[in-house]
Amino acid sequence: MANLQGFDANTVEPATEFDTIPAGKYLAVITESEIKPTKSGNGSYLQLMFEILDGQYKGRHLWSRLNLDNPNETAVKIARAELSAICRAVGVMAPNDSVDLHNLPLLITVRCKKRPDTGDIGNEIKGYAKREAVGGQPQQATGTAAPWRRA
């Protein structure tokens, strides 16, 4: 249970349903990561939450799940390849912890896919790349301060 004393729904606009974002490439950062058990209980996956940094969909979140501990060797091979792509995209080749990948900009390739459980169209991340350079300079997110700049 969680203490909700002081919350008054009359003073807060309710959340609205989010539509899928169009397929394309988006500048994003990983903002959260967590190891979670698989449904079957015989493995675990690394769940990464990405936040889009600019454009019309700034602030939207997308998730990726990497089956790094799974009895299915193919699933592990795919997950390790995706993790390698993420590491290369953010320039951290040997992370000690998933938090080492947080707040570093990268381009994610998003596609739209029909969900088998509901039939709804959802988003999935299908690729990771270094942020593109413009005129030889690193691409900056729009806004005042770049969120990936470390103090």
Name the CATH code of domain 19-133 (choices 3.40.50, 1.10.3470, 2.40.50, 1.20.120): 2.40.50
Spatial separation of the C-alpha atoms in residues 143 and 30, rounded to whole Å: 18
Question: Residue 129 is encoded by which pair of tokens?
Answer: 């790349």
Higher pLDDT pick, 129 / 135: 129
pLDDT in the model for residue 151: 39
pLDDT in the model for residue 137: 43
- Whether 14 shows a pLDDT value over 70: the answer reads yes
| pTM for the predicted model, two decimal places | 0.78
Spatial separation of the C-alpha atoms in residues 8 and 66, rounded to whole Å: 38
pLDDT in the model for residue 143: 36
Q: Where are the domains of the chain?
A: 19-133
Mean pLDDT value across residues 62-90: 97
pLDDT in the model for residue 88: 97
Spatial separation of the C-alpha atoms in residues 77 and 149, rounded to whole Å: 32
pLDDT tens string 18-59: 789 999 999 999 999 999 999 999 999 999 999 999 999 999
